[in-house]
């Protein structure tokens, strides 16, 4: 996070030294793009706030650390797709799930769909990519996540 | 007048926003605990995002002004070959935040004439191999897990992105113009 600020300030400073006029234009573009996306963005935040309340941590643990690995993996794929959370929450959560007996393949399904498939971010993605492409990208990402989860299961010997 | 026009452009946000505000006001008024929890979630996310997004958009703005279209086209455009995917993945690794941060960057790349396949690879790869995220992942789940995930998912992402990009290109698909009105004005200005 801090790195992002340092880089931004540094580049902004350099840009300002090189050409104040161009920098002004860059800031204008930044503001304009931000305002353009703000509505879809707010929409996403509201949906996420509700989703995260409906699916609290302990429910996740209950479902994902199940006996039947296929059901667990299926639910992990589903959960990961509909929820979004930052990595610094998601991976510690995966650590907890691992301790509670969740399989690596389940965690792989969860973390990969979490990062690559976004039902909640869809309104935003649609704005940038268009409905068809956004849909296509999400479906394919879901398939990739499934393959990755199965591969993880194979490597960790969880599929015997 | 202008406000009405803007509201009409975003029926989804207006609908969800209205429902959400009514729900929030109602919850606050009656002290409905789940409502208050959701409100807290919302504010904390909003805070997090407002800390990251200004930087992202400033960087996108700077990118827009300083990086020549030809440069992007040469390295990430049509006919720039397999190496362009390597660039896309490396670039994706350096990003921070979720999809909401990467999307504007991806769009900016596209506007500078990066190949659609490369843009898609960049988007999806950003979900897999962001450096800070990978550090978290490896420390909680082990390097073996991370290595397997990378080894399986990255080739798949590149392959599928290439196919989807090609397919949509064939149909002359164009990404929506996120700031069409002002771009036209600017084009005249130049």
The string of DSSP letters for B66-108 reads: HS-HHHHHHHHSTT--THHHHHHHHHHHT--S-HHHHHHHHHH
Q: Do A43 and B42 touch (CB under 8 A)?
A: no
A155 touches B at CB < 8 Å: yes
Query: Domain containing A72: what range?
Result: 55-155
Of B145 and B92, more confident: B145
Whether the per-residue pLDDT at B80 is higher than 80: the answer is no
The least confident of A140-144, B49-53, B152-156 is B49-53
Backbone angles phi, psi at A67, to 5 degrees: -65, -55
Cβ partners under 8 Å of residue A122, min gap 6: A134, A138
Residue A136 is assigned to a structural domain of this protein: yes
* ipTM topping 0.85: no
Residue A63 is assigned to a structural domain of this protein: yes
Whether the per-residue pLDDT at A124 is higher than 90: the answer is no
Whether the per-residue pLDDT at B188 is higher than 70: the answer is no
Whether the per-residue pLDDT at B19 is higher than 50: the answer is yes
Whether the per-residue pLDDT at A113 is higher than 80: the answer is yes
Of B103 and B4, more confident: B103
The CA–CA distances, whole Å, from B176 to A126, A133, A155, B126 equal: 9, 10, 41, 21
Of A100 and A16, more confident: A16
Whether the per-residue pLDDT at A33 is higher than 90: the answer is no
Residue A104 is assigned to a structural domain of this protein: yes
Give the C-alpha separation, A157 to B156, whole Å. Answer: 22
Q: What is the pLDDT of residue B186?
A: 46
By Cβ distance, the residue of A43, A94, A124 closest to B103 is A124
Averaged pLDDT, A40-47: 79
Averaged pLDDT, B82-98: 81
Which of B103, B115, B117 to mutate to probe the A interface, most A CBs <10 Å?
B103
B179 chain-A contacts, CB cut-off 8 A:
32-33, 36
Residue A23 is assigned to a structural domain of this protein: no
Cα atoms in the 13 Å half-sphere on the side-chain side of B177: 6
Total domain count for chain A?
1
Q: Considering only residues 86 to 125 of chain A, which have any Cβ-Cβ distance to chain B shorter than 8 Å?
A: 86-88, 91-92, 94-95, 98, 104, 107-108, 111-112, 115-116, 118, 121, 123-125
Residue A36 is assigned to a structural domain of this protein: no
Residue A28 is assigned to a structural domain of this protein: no
Q: What is the pLDDT of residue B151?
A: 92
Distance from CA of A68 to the nearest CA of B (A): 21
Q: What is the mean pLDDT of chain A?
A: 85
Give the C-alpha separation, B147 to B18, whole Å. Answer: 45
Domain boundaries, chain B: 1-52, 67-189
Task: Give which of A134, A129, A133 is closest to B166, Cα–Cα.
Answer: A133
In terms of average pLDDT, the best of A28-42, A72-86, A105-119, B74-88 is A105-119
The two three-digit tokens of residue B23, written as one number:
């729900």
B164 chain-A contacts, CB cut-off 8 A:
133, 136-137, 140
Residue A95 is assigned to a structural domain of this protein: yes
Whether the per-residue pLDDT at B57 is higher than 80: the answer is yes
Residue A74 is assigned to a structural domain of this protein: yes
Q: What is the pLDDT of residue A86?
A: 67
pLDDT band for position A134 (50/70/90)? very high
Q: What is the pLDDT of residue A139?
A: 94
**Closest residue, chain A, to B58 (C-alpha):** A30
pLDDT in tens, A53-76: 877 777 777 888 777 888 899 999
């Amino acid at each position: 996070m801090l790195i992002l600020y340092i880089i931004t300030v540094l580049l902004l400073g350099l840009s300002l030294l090189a050409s104040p006029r161009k920098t002004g234009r860059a800031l204008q573009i930044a503001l304009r793009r931000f305002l353009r996306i703000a509505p879809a963005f707010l929409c996403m935040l509201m949906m996420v706030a509700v989703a995260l309340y409906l699916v609290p941590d302990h429910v996740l643990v209950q479902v994902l650390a199940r006996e039947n690995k296929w059901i667990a993996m299926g639910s992990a794929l589903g959960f990961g797709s509909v929820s979004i959370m930052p990595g610094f929450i998601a991976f510690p959560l995966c650590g907890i799930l691992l301790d509670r007996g969740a399989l690596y393949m389940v965690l792989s399904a969860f973390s990969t769909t979490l990062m690559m498939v976004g039902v909640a971010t869809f309104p935003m993605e649609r704005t940038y990519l268009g409905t068809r492409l956004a849909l296509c990208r999400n479906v394919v990402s879901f398939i990739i996540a499934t393959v990755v989860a199965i591969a993880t299961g194979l490597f960790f010997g969880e599929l015997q | 007048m202008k406000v009405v026009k803007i509201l009409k452009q975003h029926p989804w946000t207006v609908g969800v926003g209205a429902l959400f505000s009514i729900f929030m006001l109602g919850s606050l008024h009656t002290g409905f605990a789940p409502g208050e929890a959701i409100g807290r979630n919302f504010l904390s996310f909003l805070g997090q995002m407002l800390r990251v997004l200004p930087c992202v958009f400033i960087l996108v703005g700077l990118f827009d002004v300083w990086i020549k279209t030809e440069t992007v086209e040469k390295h990430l455009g049509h006919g720039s070959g397999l190496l362009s995917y390597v660039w896309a993945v490396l670039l994706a690794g350096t990003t921070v935040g979720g999809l909401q941060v990467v999307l504007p960057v991806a769009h900016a790349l596209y506007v500078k004439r990066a190949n659609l396949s490369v843009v898609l690879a960049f988007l999806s790869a950003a979900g897999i191999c962001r450096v800070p995220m990978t550090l978290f992942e490896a420390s909680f789940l082990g390097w073996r897990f991370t290595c397997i995930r990378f080894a399986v998912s990255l080739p798949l992402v590149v392959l599928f992105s290439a196919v989807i990009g090609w397919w949509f290109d064939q149909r002359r698909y164009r990404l929506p113009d996120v700031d069409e009105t002002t771009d036209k004005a600017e084009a005249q200005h130049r």
